[in-house]
Structure 1
């Protein structure tokens, strides 16, 4: 094969991969929510985002099952407040998805799929010491229960660049505390200061990070 033919094949493969991820985002998504714990009470199935479960006749989501895809739940309507990453599996009570949150909030009103995590294996991100992608930096492509243990000499992260995939960052080591969902297709993958980590972010404290997979 000539170089030109090789490049054409390479571009075709990349386009096919992107098409697969895009189509799976719309075809391989399903979440079932319940208004009582342990999958009791009223139930509803969704294959797309929900901005306000109250508009669907539920006061709150107290248990759920993720059948396909990865999702993020929010404390308030319109995707605001505390965030909760929801990967495939059963969540019979709030504690199952809260990530050992130090701030007990038994409330989930809105949720949406994490499209860039669906079918994507190669997740990559860079964390920076200061805002606007300045200062010391470190590239991550794996799960890190403690950033300090891997050599990050700080309990804060000033800014983040997600090159591919999606990650969930936690306030404390061991995947505990506030959760911040970071996606390559939000903000162009650039989170230039902690205020862009989420509407609930009050400090730049991040001490553990892991990838989000479907």
Structure 2
């Protein structure tokens, strides 16, 4: 076992590791790279336990983009990194992740807003969603429980900031601005005692959506 608290450009050179079969993210969000010097396929790691490499999406990855909702219309399959999808299809209204964990970018060349999309493992994962948001760190202050999408946390609950949250069931996407706009953060089941735990630089929030809408 090795504990890491800072960046490492080569696990093989530093620790003689060229394979990892399990890991436990104790604090913060990390990006795991397939190759040294931060190259190759990337896997976004949130706080939590990963008992097998399948848990962070390491496998023969495959994602399919559909022009219409409900996995209908023309589609495009992708099994490797792609710096520009615009020539491949004109619009995208549904996505199916068969394997792997993918990072989607708003603009070509891996720029703009981004969101991590995990594989859809089973029906139970999307059948129930529940999370609690708190106005202060460490689950203090006013608490609100959500089980459905919310396009404006400020209008509905008078929340403009969230300092901690607890995802009880399902996967969620937290948006920086109302109406599902701005920077996005993927929330898997677990504890988030501080906004740094989901990768945010500040506590500003605008809306929340169940991650089932991405599949």
Higher helix share: 1
TM-score by length of 2: 0.52
Kept in 1, the 8 Å contact 2:115–2:184? The answer is: no
User: Which is bigger in relative contact order (C-alpha 8 A, separation at least 6)?
Assistant: 1
Alignment of 1:106-121 (within 5 A): 106-108=108-110, 113-115=117-119, 118-119=122-123, 120-121=126-127
Aligned positions, number: 137
The corresponding residue for 2:16 is: none
Structure 1 portions without partners, runs of 5+:
1-21, 34-42, 75-83, 85-93, 99-104
Higher strand share: 2
Distance of aligned partners of 1:161 and 1:205 in 2 relative to their CA distance in 1, 3 Å threshold: same
RMSD: 3.6
TM-score by length of 1: 0.52
Aligned: 1:144 with 2:144: no
Counterpart among 167, 192, 205 of residue 162 in structure 1 = 167
CA distance in 1, matches of 2:84, 2:183: 19
Instruction: Kindly provide the CA deviation profile for residues 142-167 of structure 1, in whole angstroms up to 9, marking residues without a partner as x.
Output: 0100011212x231100111001011
Distance of aligned partners of 1:203 and 1:112 in 2 relative to their CA distance in 1, 3 Å threshold: closer
Alignment of 1:36-185 (within 5 A): 45-46=78-79, 53=81, 60-63=83-86, 68-69=96-97, 73-74=102-103, 84=104, 98=106, 105-108=107-110, 113-115=117-119, 118-119=122-123, 120-151=126-157, 153-184=158-189
Distance of aligned partners of 1:159 and 1:205 in 2 relative to their CA distance in 1, 3 Å threshold: same
